[in-house]
Amino acid sequence: MIKAFVKAVQQLGDPGIRKYILLSLFSAIVVFIALWSAIGYLLTETAVSDIGWVESTVDVLGGLATLVLTWFMFPATVSVLIGLFLDQVANCVEKRHYPQLEKTDGAPVGEQIMLTAKFFAILIGLNILMLPFLFLGPIFPFVFYGVNGYLLGREYFELVAARRMPGEAVTQLRKARQGRLILVGAGIAFLLTVPIVNLLMPVVATATMVHLFEKWRGDPATMPAKTSV
């Protein structure tokens, strides 16, 4: 897993992937500004809780509450945008490291939209449900990174794998590597909360998952189907 991540970071300097780095930077900045504005507005105009002291605390903290909630929602929201250029990033990685692979047009557009919409709804829904854990102090990071680790690991893997495998085979391979995917996803979630680093993570996460996918599907113990192109 570490080797796959290192390979992904090393490829950030490739000319073919630079424009997608710029797209990642732009997307991350837009997402942050949009979240900051929307959350700030909601905190100002609506009551976030019926509990008096909670509402008063949010009102007093103001900008700090907005920053915390923006940070909280950022990983889930920005990850959804990776679907806009995931194929192109994956193609760049395959061209450099796996030139023997046949060219693929990726998953059908409709399937990509469905996968992205489904993950967006799940990610946002579960992250909203986790909000009460903010008041549990040290417990919150474990809940946050654990839940997002599972969801982000699954999202990135399925979007990458769907380019070259049918749905049932993707599910089978994902389940066979579920534990490692959760660890990888937790790492992605953590780095998506680190300022500056999080601007590059959509590209790095995609490239990392391509390496892991190619390694895992080549393992006879977990190779469920032949490549579909």
Residue pLDDT, tens place only, 202-218: 889 899 999 999 999 87
Measured CA to CA in angstroms, residue 26 lies from 14, 30, 182, 192, 223 at distances of: 18, 6, 27, 15, 37
- CA–CA gap between residue 20 and residue 226 (Å, rounded): 29
- CA–CA gap between residue 201 and residue 155 (Å, rounded): 14
Which pLDDT band, with edges at 50, 70 and 90, does 221 fall under?
Answer: low
Going by the DSSP 8-state scheme, the letter that residue 103 receives in this structure is P
| Tally of CA atoms within 13 A in the half-sphere of 222 that contains its CB | 17
Residue pLDDT, tens place only, 148-184: 888 888 888 988 888 888 878 888 999 899 899 999 9
Q: How many CB atoms lie within 10 A of CB 208?
A: 26
Task: Give me the amino acid identity at 142.
Answer: F
Q: Report the share of the chain in percent with pLDDT over 90.
A: 10
pTM of the model: 0.76
Residue pLDDT, tens place only, 81-113: 666 677 888 889 998 999 888 887 666 666 667
The DSSP H or E segment spanning 150 is helix 139-161
CA angle 167, 93, 153 (to 5 degrees): 45
- CA–CA gap between residue 188 and residue 175 (Å, rounded): 19
- CA–CA gap between residue 44 and residue 165 (Å, rounded): 47
